């Protein structure tokens, strides 16, 4: 049995299929860990969703910002980007089944000494706290106010976590940290507009995983989201977004031995 963590797919079905062939993936005994951003900007989000739904039980998924954007658009969110490539999904005959499956995926999965999340964890969160907060978002996505939640989700405020936060603000901070964050201050204020490499950190910030004494350093975080960082490993971190949708590579890492596999975008 092997476990393969795979970076942001973003609708690049052909590259995902080649990766599964490359590693000789066997769903009867192997597992996939998908770090989110399954859809959007690439050409074939619909086939990606259908494949991963079929692999349920062998594929563990967490939600990325583009996956949540798809759910927002389906709920009636109108402010869409010019590079949105979600029409196939939204018009598919199995749209509702796929969206229901996607909305039931968590922001975070805890697998032994590994944490699977799309973007990162705020430095003041323990792994146990982050898991509990992910569960709050999951309950909102599955609850009677799911549509209202999705329509309230966009925005960068509040910029930092507080245990006193309630309602949509509380959920928005959790989602932004887990699916959008790259840089933050030592006390956890997120710089959500910054997208460059670590060398271009906004003044007073640093990559979230390099905040001294971050409480999640007890585990190895497996994430994606940051194509300008690229495939990167350091103690406590495996970052897998190597820009497949931008012509880079799709990266997979076998958890058991650290072997790396890549296919061109």
Any idea what the Cα angle at residue 95 is, between residues 56 and 115, rounded to 5°?
40
Residue that has been written with the tokens 């969160």 in this structure:
125
Q: What is the mean pLDDT of residues 72-81?
A: 87
Which pLDDT tens digit goes with each residue over 51-74? Answer: 999 999 999 999 999 999 999 999
Neighbours of 200 (CB within 10 A): 10
Which tens digits make up the pLDDT trace of 20-29? Answer: 999 999 999 9
Q: Could you write out the DSSP letters of every residue in 129-174? A: HHHHHHHHHHHHHHSTTHHHHHHT--S--S-S--TT--HHHHHHHH
pTM for the model stands at 0.97
| In the predicted structure, residue 260 carries a pLDDT above the cut 90 | yes
**Which of 66, 219, 225, 232 does the annotation list as catalytic?**
66
Where does the pLDDT of residue 82 fall: very low under 50, low under 70, confident under 90, or very high at 90 and above? confident
pLDDT at residue 81 is higher than 80:
no
Question: What tens digit of pLDDT does each residue of 219-243 get?
Answer: 999 999 999 999 999 999 999 999 9
pLDDT of residue 218: 97
Confidence of residue 108 (pLDDT cuts 50, 70, 90): very high
Task: Inform me whether the pLDDT recorded for 78 exceeds 80.
Answer: no
Average confidence score pLDDT of the chain: 97
Assign residue 215 the CATH number of its domain.
Answer: 3.60.21.10
- Number of structural domains in the chain: 1
Q: Could you tell me what percent of the chain has a pLDDT over 90?
A: 96
Q: Is 66 a catalytic residue?
A: yes
Is residue 10 pLDDT above 90, yes or no?
yes
**Does the pLDDT of residue 83 top 90, yes or no?**
no
What pLDDT does residue 229 have? 97
**pLDDT of 169-202, one tens digit each?**
999 999 999 999 999 999 999 999 999 999 999 9
How far apart, in whole angstroms, are the C-alpha atoms of residue 249 and residue 265?
A: 5
Whole-number pLDDT of residue 112? 96
Burial 109-130 (b: 16+ CB within 10 A, else e): bbbeebbbbbbbbbbbbebebb
pLDDT, residue 79, reads 75
Mean per-residue pLDDT, 193-222? 97
Could you give the CA distance from residue 132 to residue 254 in angstroms, rounded to a whole number? 27
Residue 198's domain comprises 3-264
Q: How far is CA 17 from CA 150, 181, 226, 252, in A?
A: 31, 29, 22, 12
């Amino acid at each position: 049995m092997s476990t393969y963590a795979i970076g942001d797919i973003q609708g690049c079905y052909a590259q995902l299929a080649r990766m599964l062939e490359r590693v000789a993936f066997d769903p009867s005994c192997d597992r996939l860990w998908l770090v989110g951003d399954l859809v959007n900007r690439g050409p074939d989000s619909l086939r990606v969703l259908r494949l991963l739904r079929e692999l349920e039980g062998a594929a563990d998924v967490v939600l990325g910002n583009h996956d949540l954007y798809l759910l927002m658009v389906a709920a009636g969110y109108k402010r869409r980007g010019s590079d949105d490539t979600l029409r196939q999904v939204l018009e598919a005959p199995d749209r509702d089944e796929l969206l229901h499956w996607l909305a039931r995926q968590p922001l975070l999965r805890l697998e032994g000494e590994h944490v699977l999340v799309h973007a990162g964890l705020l430095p003041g969160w323990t792994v146990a706290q982050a898991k509990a907060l992910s569960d709050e978002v999951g309950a909102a996505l599955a609850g009677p106010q799911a549509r209202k939640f999705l329509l309230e989700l966009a925005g960068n405020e509040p910029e930092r976590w507080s245990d006193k936060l309630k309602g949509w603000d509380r959920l928005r901070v959790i989602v932004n940290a887990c699916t959008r964050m790259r840089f933050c201050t030592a006390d956890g204020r997120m710089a959500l507009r910054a997208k460059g490499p670590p060398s271009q950190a906004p003044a007073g910030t640093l990559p979230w995983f390099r905040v001294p004494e971050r409480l999640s350093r007890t585990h190895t975080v497996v994430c994606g989201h940051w194509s300008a960082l690229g495939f990167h490993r350091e103690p406590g971190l495996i970052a897998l977004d190597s820009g497949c949708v931008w012509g880079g590579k799709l990266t997979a890492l076998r958890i058991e031995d650290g072997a790396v596999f890549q296919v061109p975008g």
